[in-house]
């Protein structure tokens, strides 16, 4: 087998790397965090989230969009209360919420309803009644039903319309991460519905001041051409509605998951937005989740066993896909990382192993053929990219839903 330490060194960065042969995260020795908090535990770095936000702002500020955009954090990615409070104290983002409970949770963390933009589908009358209690909350309607129901509850208000351009953009065209495309989806109002949408809004005296779209997740630099086409298609809607003041371009910005991924080139991303919006009298909104929080978290685990079955060496850990479902649901691998620096280990002693969890389901595989040093004497392991869509999507499947979450370096 030709395995090299390069295959797992790609994720290292100043706040997540080996120092003196030991793994450090956000200024902490991971072995100390494990000794203090046990496993499975998600550790989030507030400073990493803050620097992810700052990187987005720097890229946007270098274009003509400076002072003409608002970043809304898609809290579905991670709703850990201390993290939300940290973001609220930082004051650099608003919130994208997708359920009445999320709005209430954001408000409890200190956000004003007027800092929250709501986009979700299949709303019941009860949902709408609860949302109406949050004075100042902004509603993006994703269907004719939503326009009608909101219009009945809040006639005379301003609304956004989530549109579906029939085109989407996602990581490597992963269709499980795509919300619009050749398959008809539930997300947003289609072109052929748009005049009816405007008519329903008119009947309820609603003013459409925003066009919203979010067509997929996880895109990196190679997909920016596709994003360009998505935006072009969405401008069709903008151009048909004279009252539009804002466009929400959604989230979807991805982070690297494997050695062959490169970080999203933010200046190219900002240039795509500027190309379409610099000359328009429009305020932009974007609502990233993954980009802000995913690489700000690690999942600390304990090894349960190491055993060769046929030609595969299995490394078992004390948590399964139910507490971080993305690898299983979307095929997004979470790189396993040992606590001791494998670059000190001769390449010849590296081995391939498949990291598996403790759930009785065939899809409970964290990472196939991970290249790792000999793990027989190791007790622990970390998975990277555990900061987004992990704990927030966790279930109690097999009654193995117990885990801890902690925020380190989260001082505003
Ligand atoms: C409407 C909407 N906005 C924003 C997001 C955040 O997406 P991401 O985490 O890919 O940035 C999502 C994710 O599902 C979404 O549905």
**Closest ligand 1 atom number to CA of residue 162:** 1
Nearest to 403, CA basis, from 356, 411, 393, 83: 393
DSSP string spanning 282-322?
A: -EEEE--SHHHHGGGEEEEEEEEEEEEETTEEEEEES--GG
What is the C-alpha to C-alpha distance for residues 165 and 411, in angstroms, rounded to an integer? 41
Residue 3 is predicted with a pLDDT of: 45
CA atoms within 13 A on the CB side of 383: 37
Distance from Cα 354 to the centre of ligand 1, integer Å: 30
**Closest ligand 1 atom number to CA of residue 388:** 9
Whether residue 90 is predicted with pLDDT greater than 60 in this model: the reply is yes
Region 353-381: what's the mean pLDDT?
96
Average pLDDT over all residues of the chain: 95
Region 107-111: what's the mean pLDDT?
98
Out of 70, 71, 76, 186, mutate this one to test ligand 1's pocket (max ligand atoms within 8 Å of CB): namely 76
At 404 the three-state DSSP class reads strand
Out of 75, 98, 217, mutate this one to test ligand 1's pocket (max ligand atoms within 8 Å of CB): namely 217
What confidence category does residue 2 fall into, taking pLDDT thresholds of 50, 70 and 90?
very low
**128-142, 243-257, 275-289, 329-343, range with the lowest pLDDT:** 329-343
Residue 9 is predicted with a pLDDT of: 81
Tell the burial category of 224 from Cβ atoms under 10 Å away from its Cβ (0-12, 13-18, 19+): middle
**3-7, 59-63, 88-92, 242-246, range with the lowest pLDDT:** 3-7
Number of H helices and E strands in the chain, helices first, is: 12, 20
> Bridge-partner residues for 196, per DSSP?
none
What is the C-alpha to C-alpha distance for residues 334 and 325, in angstroms, rounded to an integer? 10
What global pTM score does this model have?
0.97
> Bridge-partner residues for 308, per DSSP?
313
Nearest to 318, CA basis, from 290, 356, 361, 350: 356
CA atoms within 13 A on the CB side of 295: 24
Pick the residue with more confidence: 3 or 33? 33
Residue 7 is predicted with a pLDDT of: 63
Residue in the structure block whose two tokens are 């006639």: 155
Whether residue 186 is predicted with pLDDT greater than 70 in this model: the reply is yes
Distance from Cα 91 to the centre of ligand 1, integer Å: 20
DSSP string spanning 129-173?
A: HHHHTSTT-EEEE-SHHHHHHHHHHSTT-EEEEEEE-S----GGG
Residue 355 is predicted with a pLDDT of: 98
- The CATH code of domain 46-293 reads 3.20.20.10
Contact 336, 383 (CB under 8 A): yes
Contact 42, 405 (CB under 8 A): yes
**76-80, 263-267, 316-320, 370-374, range with the lowest pLDDT:** 370-374
Pick the residue with more confidence: 218 or 344? 218
What is the C-alpha to C-alpha distance for residues 394 and 408, in angstroms, rounded to an integer? 21
Residue 349 is predicted with a pLDDT of: 78
Q: Which residue ranges have their beta carbon within 6 Å of ligand 1?
A: 74, 77, 96, 119, 214, 217, 250-253, 287-291
**Closest ligand 1 atom number to CA of residue 254:** 10
Region 73-95: what's the mean pLDDT?
98
Per-residue pLDDT tens over the stretch 168-178: 999 988 888 98
Q: Closest residue (by CA) to atom 16 of ligand 1?
A: 214
Whether residue 221 is predicted with pLDDT greater than 60 in this model: the reply is yes
Token code pair at residue 24? 């450090």
What is the C-alpha to C-alpha distance for residues 70 and 395, in angstroms, rounded to an integer? 32
Beta-carbon count within 10 A of 21 CB = 11
Distance from Cα 145 to the centre of ligand 1, integer Å: 21
Q: Closest residue (by CA) to atom 5 of ligand 1?
A: 251
Q: Closest residue (by CA) to atom 9 of ligand 1?
A: 289
Distance from Cα 325 to the centre of ligand 1, integer Å: 16
Distance from Cα 358 to the centre of ligand 1, integer Å: 29
Residue 1 is predicted with a pLDDT of: 34
Q: Where in the chain is the domain with CATH 3.20.20.10?
A: 46-293
Q: Where in the chain is the domain with CATH 2.40.37.10?
A: 6-45+295-408
In CATH terms, the fold of domain 6-45+295-408 is: Lyase, Ornithine Decarboxylase; Chain A, domain 1 (2.40.37)
């Amino acid at each position: 087998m030709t395995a090299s330490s390069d295959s797992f060194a790609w994720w290292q960065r100043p706040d997540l790397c080996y120092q003196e042969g030991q793994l450090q995260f956000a200024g902490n020795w991971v072995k100390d965090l494990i000794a203090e908090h046990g496993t499975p535990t998600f550790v989030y770095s507030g400073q990493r989230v803050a620097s992810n936000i700052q990187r987005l702002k720097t890229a946007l500020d270098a274009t003509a969009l400076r002072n003409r955009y608002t970043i809304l954090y898609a809290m579905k990615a991670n709703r850990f209360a201390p993290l939300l409070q940290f973001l609220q104290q930082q004051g650099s983002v608003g919130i994208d919420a997708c359920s009445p409970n999320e709005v209430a949770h954001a408000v409890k963390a200190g956000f004003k309803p007027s800092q929250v933009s709501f986009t979700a589908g299949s709303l019941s009358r009860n949902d709408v009644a609860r949302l109406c209690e949050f004075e100042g909350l902004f509603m993006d309607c994703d269907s004719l039903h939503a326009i009608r129901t909101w219009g009945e509850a809040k006639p005379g208000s301003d609304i956004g319309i989530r549109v579906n351009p029939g085109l989407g953009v996602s990581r490597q065209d992963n269709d499980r991460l795509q919300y619009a495309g050749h398959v008809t989806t539930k997300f947003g109002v289609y072109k052929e519905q748009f005049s009816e949408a405007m008519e329903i809004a008119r009947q309820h005296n609603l003013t459409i001041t925003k066009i919203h779209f979010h067509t997929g997740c996880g895109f990196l630099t190679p997909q920016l051409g596709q994003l360009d086409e998505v935006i072009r298609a969405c401008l069709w809607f903008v151009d048909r509605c004279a009252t539009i003041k804002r466009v929400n371009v959604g989230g979807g910005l991805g982070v690297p998951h494997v050695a062959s991924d490169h970080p999203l080139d933010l200046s190219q991303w900002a240039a795509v937005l500027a190309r379409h919006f610099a000359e328009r009298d429009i305020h932009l909104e974007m609502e990233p989740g993954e980009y802000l929080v995913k690489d700000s978290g690690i999942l600390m685990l304990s090894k349960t066993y190491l055993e060769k079955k046929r030609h595969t060496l299995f490394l078992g850990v004390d948590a399964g896909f139910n507490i971080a479902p993305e690898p299983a649901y979307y095929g997004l691998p979470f790189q396993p990382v040992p606590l001791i620096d494998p670059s000190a280990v001769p390449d010849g002693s590296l081995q391939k192993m498949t990291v598996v969890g403790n759930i009785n389901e065939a899809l409970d595989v964290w990472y196939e053929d991970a290249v790792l040093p000999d793990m027989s004497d190791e007790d622990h392991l970390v998975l990277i990219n555990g900061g987004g869509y992990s704990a927030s999507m966790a279930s109690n499947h097999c009654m193995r839903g117990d885990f801890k979450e902690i925020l380190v370096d989260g001082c505003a």
